[in-house]
Structures are given as C-alpha cells and as structure tokens.
Amino acid sequence: MKKSILVIVMSFCLQMVFADDYHFNNFFIGDRAASMGGAYCAIADGPEGVYYNPAGLSFSSSNYFSLSANAIQYKQMVYKGIKFNGAEESIDYTRRSFSFIPNFFGFLQKYKHFTFAFTVASPDSELYDQRDSFKIPTSTSGLKYTDNLNVDLSKTYMVYEAGPSFSFLPSKQLSIGFGLFVRYTNNREIFQQSHVFDLEDGSSQTTYSSLYRRDDIVSIVNNFGIQYMPIKYLSIGYSFSMPLHLVDVKSNKVTTLEGINSSNLAAGYFDAQVASKENDVINIFEDGLFRSTFVKQTIGVAGFITKSLVVSLDGSFYVTVQDEENEYADFHNWFTWNISTGMEWYITQNFPLRLGFFTDNANTPELENGKTDQLDHVNLYGGSFSIGYATSSMSVNLGATISGGVGKAQMIGGSTAIQDLEAFAVTVFISGGYSF
C-alpha cells in the first residue's frame, strides 16, 4: 500500500519552469519607446528605434549616442489552488524573478541621405533563485500521512542582440531601413523537488527528482521598415521582422530517486546505493539553416499635434510559421496580436513627460478541460511612464513599466487539473543620451 501511494504521488509533480516565450512584449528596448508603451514604429528616430522600425533613423535630427539600463526588474507568477492527489488542502506556489540588467547601448551616424546605427541590447531576461517548503496533509487508500514538499528553483535566462542598421531617405517624406542582428539566447534551469512522506507509524518515505536543462541558441534577426510622412504632422510606419534560428545546443538531465526509506537517509543525503533513474541527452544540431519560428509585422501611426505634444498608436501581428519541423508551432497559436499607444508631452522646453499603455497577449491556446501538460495562458495589460530632462545636446530619463493579468495554468504533470494564474511584472529604468 505504501508503495502504491508513492507511485501515485510521484506522477503528480510540479512541472519545470521554462523561459517565457508565451509573450512577445516581455521587454521594451530604449527609454523613450518603453515609456510610450512600445508605440514607436512611426517615430523610431533614435538608435533604439532600429528595433521598432529602422526606417525612422533617417528622421533623426543629429548624430546620437544613447545608453539605458533596467535598474530593477521584478516578475511574479502565482499559481493558485494546486492540489496533489489525495491532499486535503491546496497550495499556492509563487515564482519570482529579480534582476538588474543593462538594457541598451547604441549610436547613430548621419551622412547625407544615409543613416547608420550600431546597437547592443538585452531584450529579455529572467533570474530565479528560490526555495519553498509546504506541509500537505494527505490521505490515500485510507492511509493518512503528511507530504513535506520542498521545491528549489534556480534559473538564468538572458537574451543578447547586437548588429548594424541602415536607412535611406529617397525623398523628404519617405524612408526605407534595414537591420540585421545576431541574437544569443542563454538558458540555464535547475528544478529540484522532494516529497518526504511522514506516515502514521512514524516511518517516512522520500521521492526526489532533479531536472537540469541547458539551452543555447544562436539566431539571426532581420528587421525591415518603411516610414512615410504624407503631411508635416503625420507619420505612418511599417516594420517586418523574422528571427532565423541557426544553431541550438541542448542538454537535459533528469535524475529520479523513488521509495527511499528513512533508514536509507544519512545526514540529509541520499544513500548512493538507492536505485536511481537517469537520462542524459545532449543534442547539437542545426535546426534547419535559417529556419524561422514566427513572423512579426507592425503598423504604426504618430501625430505631431504641436511642437510639444506627440501621440502614437501601434498594432503588432505575429504569425507562427507552420511547417513539419517547427516544434514551436505545435504549442502556440497560429496568430497573436498586440496593441500599444503612447504620448509624449513637453511640460516645459526641458521636461518631457511620457505615458503609455500596451497589451502583452499570450501566444498559447486557452486551456481545455480533460487535457494534460498544457502551457500557461495569461493575457497581460500594462502601463508605462517616464519623466526626463532634455537640452539640445543631452537627455536623462527615469521611468517604469508595470503589467499584470490573470489566466489559467496546469502545474501538475500528468494531471487534468487547471489552476488560476496571476502574473505581475515591474521594470524601473534610467537612461541617458547625447547628440553631437
């Protein structure tokens, strides 16, 4: 009976956390764009603009150097009402990411009808390092015991991009731009959990699992854009982007120890003679040279209402590339969209105030009853703001973005149970720029 209880509980374990590729607006690059909710496709006249629309470079008034940093970034995912098999009570599990990252560096150089920019950016990041413990009263097959659940999570997820961008101004009203970036994605995850079952007779049994995942991806990201000003106070922008995977190096290791009696434990360490199951797989492959997972298109419009007031609106559309070898397409929506809107108002000649609103919709399908191992689905909504000081040659800005939402998740592997999910994120940034 004890063995059957152990097997049943082991089949209902918390799933390993992965990088948030469920959303496209995890991060905004550049202070001005971030504080305007990412509504920057029809403006994009600074070095950071290459990520929104490289054609905007042509409308920069001067050569420019820009540097920004995300001083603090905090993310939180709360999974509510997780209930293991036979448990008398449910638990809430919270995953927290806290990081400090340099977000952007770039410079812009103009030469007649041509403009050149080189940028280095970190468009996404997650850092987890937490330990959680739960005492769960449980009853299975008439036997009562306490499940002491311990969960350790260590995760580093960083994305870096660098590369040149160019724009050409064939007329005073029309600009065409192109950017090409090398992207490196570094993902390291260690997820450990143990169940210590304290039985009624005073004995205990333990299960332990350790999951290790390493994923290094090298990609090429191309970005094409057009910007057109039909009249002096109106700008229309369009951009097209398609990441192309080159190399993906994966390493996965799973270690499981089951049915460990209390007599097999010594000083908190598992006896080496206890049977274990291990699977260590390392795959190094070229995932189809220049293979794409999705295509992003953005249409934007900006109105220069007065010399001190600008408003902008962007709509972005993401289409998953459907082919037999694209594993990404098997777990994500074919079509996802986001909108963003922003405002820039110079309160005085030297003090700009920026506000923005944006959506960050999940590119995963809504969870269905009766299915197992489904991906998280939560649509996020956010706002942004910044206050700055600017002169003809320099600028300094301080701002923040905040987003949150509620959705559904499935945290227990092999179970059809669906949990409520609450997500929250805040980023505080500081930046500076110099024109020459």
Identify the band that residue 209 occupies on the pLDDT scale cut at 50, 70 and 90.
confident
Residues 6+ apart with CB under 8 A from 278: 253, 254, 255, 256
Q: Extract the tokens encoding 283.
A: 């795959």
Alpha-carbon dihedral 261, 265, 268, 274, rounded to 10 degrees: -90
Say how far apart CA 383 and CA 404 lie, in whole Å. 10
Say how far apart CA 165 and CA 109 lie, in whole Å. 11
Say how far apart CA 38 and CA 36 lie, in whole Å. 6
The model's pLDDT over 153-178, given as tens digits with 9 standing for 90+, comes to 888 888 899 999 999 999 989 999 99
* Confidence (pLDDT) at 103: 73
Say how far apart CA 20 and CA 73 lie, in whole Å. 15
Residues 6+ apart with CB under 8 A from 318: 24, 294, 295, 296, 335, 336, 337, 338, 363
| Integer Rg of the chain from CA | 25
Identify the band that residue 312 occupies on the pLDDT scale cut at 50, 70 and 90.
very high
In this structure, the number of other CB atoms found within 10 A of the CB of residue 288 comes to 13
* Confidence (pLDDT) at 72: 82
Buried b / exposed e along 376-412 (16+ C-beta atoms within 10 A): bbbebebebbbebebeeeebebbbbbebbbebbbbbb
- Could you tell me the CA-to-CA distances from 188 to 121, 269, 287 in Å, in that order? 20, 24, 20
CA-wise closest residue to 405 among 425, 419, 428: 425
CA-wise closest residue to 36 among 372, 355, 293, 424: 355
- Could you tell me the CA-to-CA distances from 250 to 21, 161, 282, 285 in Å, in that order? 17, 20, 6, 9
Q: Which helix (H) or strand (E) holds 428?
A: strand 419-435
Q: pLDDT exceeding 90 applies to what percent of the chain? A: 40
The model's pLDDT over 96-145, given as tens digits with 9 standing for 90+, comes to 988 877 778 888 898 888 999 999 988 888 888 889 888 888 877 777 88
Residue with the bigger pLDDT between 309 and 123: it is: 309
Average pLDDT, the chain: 83
* Confidence (pLDDT) at 285: 46
CA-wise closest residue to 403 among 20, 63, 8: 20
Mean pLDDT over 224-231 rounds to: 96
Q: Are 57 and 108 in contact (CB under 8 A)?
A: yes
* Confidence (pLDDT) at 18: 56
Say how far apart CA 177 and CA 182 lie, in whole Å. 17
Q: Which DSSP category does 14 fall into? A: B
CA-wise closest residue to 401 among 363, 351, 354, 364: 354
Say how far apart CA 382 and CA 384 lie, in whole Å. 7
* Confidence (pLDDT) at 279: 46
Q: Are 219 and 241 in contact (CB under 8 A)?
A: no
* Confidence (pLDDT) at 162: 94
Asked if the model's pLDDT at residue 284 lies above 60, the reply is: no
Residue with the bigger pLDDT between 80 and 292: it is: 80
Q: Which helix (H) or strand (E) holds 308?
A: none
Q: Which residue bears the tokens 């990201």?
A: 221
Say how far apart CA 372 and CA 65 lie, in whole Å. 50
Sign of the CA dihedral with 360 first, then 222, 225, and 384 last? positive
Q: Is 55 helix (H, G, I), strand (E, B) or coil?
A: helix
Q: Are 185 and 219 in contact (CB under 8 A)?
A: yes
Asked if the model's pLDDT at residue 270 lies above 60, the reply is: no
Say how far apart CA 224 and CA 205 lie, in whole Å. 59
Asked if the model's pLDDT at residue 331 lies above 50, the reply is: yes
Fold of 2-435: Porin (2.40.160)
For residue 125, the Cα-to-chain-centroid distance in whole angstroms is 7
Q: Which DSSP category does 9 fall into? A: H
